Structure 1
Amino acid sequence: MREETAKPRNNGAVVLMCLAFVFGMGAMSFAAVPLYRIFCQVTGYNGTAQRVDQYSNVILDRRVKVTFDANVAPGFDWSFTPLQKSVSPRIGETVQVMFEAKNKSSEPLRGQAIFNVTPLQAGAYFNKVECFCFTETVLQPGETLEMPVVFYVDPEFAEAEETRDINVLTLSYTFFEHTKPVAGKTTASDKSNS
């Protein structure tokens, strides 16, 4: 009886395939957050408001109440508040509201706000023309800054099955410290490296 000999494995090819798999999974994990953010912005999923460059040209007689919520991440030494608790614009009407941030620390701090709209199904109809959340904000020690948000609720909000019975929306922000250091500010890692 003749014995069959096993073909030798090409270990180099197996190692390359494993490395390619690990690299691919790493790349996917880094891409997941930006891709999810884009998905939410395009679809309004998870209460993400839409960013637009133009105002609505249709204004309905129906009004919707929009309330405002402002928060600061734990450990971030800012105060952050809406200057109005709520507004009641007509659907399609462009409105500007103001928020105020103050750096309570003794050094410059850089922050950026994230936002959402509740009820979540209303996010696709909440359109922002201008918002401080589109860019990062740097405040010097003790500095106070008023920041505008310009928005409107899309007229399709009144007709959509999932939103036609909603009369109150909440625009909520949370400010986080931006991880990139402010020019001239010394961080704990800078001190440990010197």
Structure 2
Amino acid sequence: MMDASQHESTKSEAAKAEPRRRSFAVTAAACAVFGAAMLGAAFASVPLYKLFCQVTGYGGTTQRAETAPAVPSEKTIIVRFDANVANGIGWAFRPEQRQIKVRLGEVAKVNFFAENRTGAESSGQAGFNVQPDSAGRFFNKIACFCFNSQTLKAGEKVEMPVTFFVDPAILEDADNRFTDTITLSYTFYPSAEAKPAPLASNDATNSGKPL
């Protein structure tokens, strides 16, 4: 049995511990809220989010490079191409070829074709990613139509090239050392520069699906 003095001591210790527990809970909650707010702010900020994606390859984001490695690897990889258009742009968009095989570190150039099927000039910006997502940090673009907004006159057809290479360092990555195929995907969206672009009467695209 606990005597009176022990009982009082226990109550005293419990009383002292309670404020500490409340303080810890408040601090933990504050840290959680602050962390969530900072994360939200970072992802709400387009430049910070883009930087995060470029550094980590998050979401299949590709990299930009000035030059390729001096000596390509003998290892090859297949690169597939996917072209899409979002609702509201009224363009046709497709790759010249569906896939190519390249050596790692080898500079390759492929063409995409876009056509404005509306009766007015309009602008679009190509969003892009690669699959698998983890391969994004090894996919390097030297030149690409996706770096800038594109403007097409009514009925205009244009060739849009992209120059790239796949970094041989992919062979040293635990998640990608056995990757033999990468898919490069583009989707054209109406850009802020775009003017109202009514669809031509015979336009059967603008579905947000691959052409």
Q: TM-score, normalised by structure 2?
A: 0.71
Q: Distance in 2 between matches of 1:142 and 1:43?
A: 39
Residue number in structure 1 paired with 2:171: 158
**Which aligned pairs between 1:1-40 and structure 2 lie closer than 5 A?**
28=41, 31-40=44-53
- The offset of 1:180, in angstroms, is 2.3
Amino acid at match of 1:47: G
Q: Distance in 2 between matches of 1:130 and 1:115?
A: 14
Change (3 A) 1:30 1:48: closer
* Paired residues of 1:108 and 1:139 also in contact (CA < 8 A): yes
Seq. identity, %: 45
Cα offset, 1:181, TM superposition: 4.0
- Summarize the Cα distance change of 1:170–1:85 in structure 2 as closer, same or farther, 3 Å threshold: same
The alignment yields a C-alpha RMSD, in angstroms, of 2.2
| Alignment partner, residue 188 of structure 2 | 175
Name the residue aligned to 2:151.
138
Where does structure 1 lack aligned partners over 5 or more consecutive residues? 1-23, 188-194
**Once the 2 structures are TM-superposed, how far is the Cα of residue 31 of structure 1 from its aligned partner?**
4.8
Distance of 1:140 and 1:122 partners within structure 2: 36
* Alignment-derived partner of residue 101 in structure 1: 114
Alpha-carbon distance, 1:159 to partner? 1.8
Instruction: Give the aligned partner of residue 70 of structure 1.
Output: 83
Matches of 1:164 and 1:28 in 2, distance apart? 35
Q: Deviations over 1:3-31 (max 9, x none)?
A: xxxxxxxxxxxxxxxxxxxxx99x93785
Tell me by how many angstroms 1:41 deviates: 1.2
| Contact 1:58–1:155, Cα closer than 8 Å, also in 2 | no
Q: Which residue of 2 aligns with 1:10?
A: none
**Residues 138-163 of structure 1 deviation map (CA, whole Å, 9 limit, x = unaligned):** 00011000011000000101221110
| CA radius of gyration, larger in | 2
Aligned partner of residue 115 in structure 2, secondary structure? strand
Q: Is structure 2 residue 66 aligned with structure 1 residue 92? A: no
The 1:186–1:99 alpha-carbon spacing in structure 2 relative to 1, beyond 3 Å, is: closer
What residue ranges of structure 2 are gaps of 5+ in the alignment? 1-36, 199-211
- Residue identity in the other structure for 1:119: P
What is the TM-score when the length of structure 1 is the normalising length?
A: 0.77
